[in-house]
Amino acid sequence: MSTQTVGTAYRPSLGKRVQGWLAGRFAMIVAVLVLLYLFLPVFYTFIFSFNDYRKSNIEWRGFTLKHWANPCGAAGACDSLVTSLEIGLLSTLVATMLGTLVAFALVRHRFRGRGASNILVFVPMATPEIVLGASLLTIFVNGFTQLNGWFGTDLKLGFWTITIAHIMFCISFVVVSVKARLQSLDPRLEEAAQDLYAGPAETFWKITFPLVLPGIVGAALLAFSLSFDDFIITSFVSGNETTFPKFVYVSYLRGIPAQANVIGFSMFVIALALVIIGQIVGNARKK
């Protein structure tokens, strides 16, 4: 048999070569498609923030920078953004503190009902938001009715009911995040500190807290994003108060203004920058 015949006999067909190429790059192709799918709405938001529309920001009318020059041009856009930021920061602060304390109690202490508490922590996460929103609305309305009758007050749905609701569902996410961080710590580090005559408080602030801090920060960022982005529960308990997601939904009925796209894309860029900075700081600490 000649060399040419042998080479031809063992040359893979075009179909097999294509199949081998796809098999070697399947994971990369799927990753690219998933990223395109995830970032398509963000790309749409960015493009239509430059749309020179008149009444409805749905069809492309032309390019303009006036919306970026005046992101508060749409009535109520910046007011709703400020409200969302205030609620997000306040609910994140309270939920992070309470959730961190609960996580330490569940991981570091033994008490009656500890197993049931571990299970109940997941209940707000597993409950549909529409059920939570309707339940909280019932609680607030009944509670306000009783308090208004007893004390002659005029309590209504608004800023504080939204904040209380956000704290409620954010605590579970904080507990789970901080708890996972605590369970991954090496107990020998704290034991070594105690062997070197460090007291409980000194061990906590110099060893435990710095190690848990990345988990607490991550939990706080998660809580803030959940609070800022929430619409379903907020729509039940907000009353006449308008958050940014609620503003976008109401505006959708008559066409989302480009200023909302400007604000939304700016928040995405800020969140992305925080993630990148966190990765850089984390890599620097590892090195």
> Taken in order 176, 181, 185, 187, is the CA torsion positive or negative?
negative
**What is the token pair recorded at 128?**
């549909």
Question: Where is pLDDT greater, at 155 or 206?
Answer: 206
pLDDT of 166 over the 70 cut: yes
Mean pLDDT of 195-215: 83
Nearest residue to 80 (alpha-carbon basis) of 251, 225, 232:
251
**pLDDT, tens only, 210-241:** 888 888 998 999 999 999 989 999 999 998 89
> Where do the domains of the chain lie?
75-256
**pTM (two decimals):** 0.81
Judge contact between 166 and 93, C-beta under 8 A: no
Model pLDDT for residues 241-278, shown as the tens digit of each residue: 999 999 888 887 767 788 888 888 888 888 888 878 87
CATH superfamily assigned to domain 75-256: MetI-like (1.10.3720.10)
pLDDT in tens, 89-117: 999 999 999 999 999 999 888 888 888 88
